[in-house]
A and B are shown apart, each in its own frame.
Chain A
Amino acid sequence: QTVVTQEPSLTVSPGGTVTLTCASSTGEVTIANSANWFQQKPGQAPRSLIHSTSTKQSWTPARFSGSLLGDKAALTLSNVQPEDEADYYCLLYIGGVQVVLGGGTKLTVL
């Protein structure tokens, strides 16, 4: 059973930069895992930000970027804005159509 691990919480100052990571219990996250990233604000449904590791949705602000960082997938937020305070979830493809969601990172902008 694959487990996907994210930082439980991170804090960043407005205007700063923060990187959220997504690790797989089976080893290195690669392009084949096609990481997806979602943002969820309180009381709202999740919203897709990034798919295929680094491809932004048409509505995703330019300050969000996805990448592979070492053996993990990463979501980097630059010039963080107060409205970026939210929960962020990653998703990895683990084979065929099977996917696993991470436990989420609560990002505080303070």
Chain B
Amino acid sequence: EVQLVESGGGLGQPGGSLRLSCAASGFTFSSYNMNWVRQAPGKGLEWLSYISSDGTTIYYVDSVKGRFTISRDNAKNSLYLLMNSLRAEDTATYYCTRWGSTGWGDYWGQGTQVTVSS
């Protein structure tokens, strides 16, 4: 069974940092491209970042470029999102998603909540 489990969310200070993790199981993680998506409270989904299966190709949405860093450790079956220079508008639930053979976002984690506040 494919599983994606996010962790690392919580309360972050404005200007501070948080590191999110996504633990993958039930599939060959190193063969799949991955993405991070977020959803602010009461709002729609926003794609944030993409990383290729081997980690060599990375993209970001403009709103997080230069502040967020996506990475992966295929040996640990894990995806990461390092969030620096946090802003109040980064408050959201953050999801990792798999880009699989059955489409973009064929599997999603349950999400981890990030609140940025002093």
A26 interfacial contact with B, CB 8 Å: no
Give the contacting residue for B45; candidates A52, A97, A101; CB below 8 A: A101
Residue-wise, chain A 82-110 has the 8 Å CB interface mask toward B (1 for contact) of: 00000101010100011111111000000
B binding-site residues for A, Cβ under 8 Å: 33, 37, 44-47, 50, 52, 57, 59, 95, 102-111
The reply to whether A46 and B59 form a contact with Cβ atoms under 8 Å apart is no
Known: A52-B103, A57-B102, A104-B44. A47 touches B108 (CB 8 A): yes
The reply to whether B45 and A36 form a contact with Cβ atoms under 8 Å apart is no
The reply to whether B44 and A103 form a contact with Cβ atoms under 8 Å apart is yes
A58 to B106 CA separation, bound complex (whole angstroms): 10
| Total contacting residues, chain A, CB less than 8 A | 26
The reply to whether A51 and B44 form a contact with Cβ atoms under 8 Å apart is no
Give the contacting residue for B111; candidates A45, A50, A52; CB below 8 A: A45
Give the contacting residue for A100; candidates B47, B102, B105, B107; CB below 8 A: B47
A51 (CB) vs chain B CBs: closest residue: B103
B95 to chain A, nearest CB (A): 6
Known: A97-B33, A97-B50, A97-B59. A48 touches B45 (CB 8 A): no
A87 to B45 CA separation, bound complex (whole angstroms): 11
Taking A57-B106, A58-B102, A101-B47 as known contacts, 6 extra A-B pairs with beta carbons closer than 8 A to each other, sorted by chain A number, are: A36-B103, A36-B105, A46-B37, A89-B45, A98-B59, A101-B44
B44 to chain A, nearest CB (A): 4
Known: A101-B47, A104-B45. A48 touches B110 (CB 8 A): no
